[in-house]
Amino acid sequence: MAREPPAAQELPDRESVLAACVDIRERYQRSGFGPAMAEFIALVSHTGPIPPGFPGQPAPDPAAFGLPAQDDGSRDQPLLGLHMTACPGYQHDFTALRAAPTRILLGVGNQSSQMMAGRAAVAVAERLGTTPVTFPGGHDGFLSDPGHFSTFLRTVLDG
């Protein structure tokens, strides 16, 4: 059985991230889309490791993000429902991924590399024995500057 490389350790804030995701899902069930999405935005925008006290903090005002504060009663948002707790805890089969015949590239936005998604992408790339590709912009570079992003993506994929 192959041993994982030394970088195979989980991110040190894994438990805080998972607890924050549970908190967001519970807030969604209690209060609806706006309050839960505001908490989600605060989580994914946080720079550096998520502190243990992050879950349970008062959520930011949804209106600050242009979100509704009123609960419309619907609970059909996949991100804030089941996916909020199922996806972050997923454990990849790194042995199978490293053995895959296809090239796997992990992308990180240069403005968001220290945020949760960026740190996770760097950790996955390390476990695959690769280096992440740093894209212009943040986690949403494909939205904030689609022209530049698509040109850079084409260069990376062609390379």
User: Would you give per-residue pLDDT tens digits along the chain (159 residues)?
Assistant: 444 443 445 789 999 999 999 999 999 999 999 999 999 999 999 999 999 999 878 889 999 999 999 999 999 999 999 899 998 888 899 999 999 999 999 999 999 999 999 999 999 999 999 999 999 888 888 888 899 999 999 999 998
- Region for residue 141 given its phi and psi (left: phi exceeds 0; alpha: psi -120 to 50; beta: otherwise): alpha
Contact 33, 77 (CB under 8 A): yes
Residue type, 94: F
* C-alpha torsion sign, points 88, 4, 135, 113: positive
**What is the reported pLDDT for 138?**
87
| b/e map 57-68, b = 16+ CB within 10 Å | eebbebeeeebe
**What is the reported pLDDT for 2?**
45
